[in-house]
Amino acid sequence: MTDEQNQIDPLAPTDKNDHSADQSHAGAVSGKKKFFLKKCKNCAVKETECAEYKTGWQRALADYKNLQRETDQRRSEWAKQSETQILEEFLPVYEHLKMTIDNDQLVDDKNPWLEGVRHVLKQFKDILARHGVEEIKTVGEKFDPIFHEAVGQQESNEFDDETIIKQISSGYCLGDKILKPAKVIVNKKTERV
């Protein structure tokens, strides 16, 4: 006998003529089949549950990434708003230092005090420039109510109508945001008859 013939099938009936063995074998096979079918159904249910959990997890992960992106964007906006607010508060101090230097009564250019103020003014100007603050152009420019505030009008033949002829105080912008409009005098030509 070969090894294959010596192996006994545990589910096979022991006696080929024994019908009860055949029936018990069929019942065992049927029972095992039901058992495996039940297990397969349980596996299918578990797979469905796993898929639902995975989908829920993926949604939660996407929501979290969106929240992180929105939070980073808000932080960036808050930082920019804070920076803008601080720069706006420094502008009057910078303007007063500029007026001090431009004062005609301070004739002595060798005054150490005046040199110190000039140095502080230069530091202020450098800090503002590093943060993107630019002075708005005025004299010789066409009047633009977005950038300029007209505080008066004069007539001059040197300039076209609605052109700025004198700056009263500087204006500043940070990118496309106006921090302070420039106060200016605008040329207004009168019609002569």
What is the spatial distance between Cα 55 and Cα 46, in angstroms, rounded to a whole number?
A: 14
The maximal CA–CA distance of the chain, rounded, in angstroms, is: 137
Pairing of strands 177-180, 148-154: unpaired
Residue located via tokens 């469905």: 48
For the four alpha carbons of 136, 140, 143 and 144, in that order, the dihedral sign comes to: negative
Q: Length of the chain in residues, anyone? A: 193
Task: Write out pLDDT tens, residues 133-189.
Answer: 999 999 988 999 999 999 999 888 888 888 899 999 899 999 889 999 999 999 887
**Residue 165: count of CB within 10 angstroms of its CB:** 20
Which residues make Cβ contacts (< 8 Å) with residue 122, sequence separation at least 6? none
List of domains in the chain: 135-193 (2.30.22.10)
CA distances from 135 to 87, 92, 178 (A): 13, 13, 10
Residue type, 84: T
Instruction: Give the per-residue pLDDT at 18.
Output: 52
pLDDT tens per residue, range 116-132: 888 888 999 999 999 99
Render pLDDT for 10-47 as a digit per residue (tens, 0 to 9): 545 555 555 555 555 555 667 677 777 777 777 888 88
| Token reading at 39 | 């297990």
Of 141, 133, 47, 37, nearest in space to 91 by CA:
133
Report pLDDT for 126: 94
Residue 64 pLDDT > 90, yes or no?
Answer: yes
Q: What is the pLDDT of residue 114?
A: 78
Q: Is 162 helix (H, G, I), strand (E, B) or coil?
A: coil
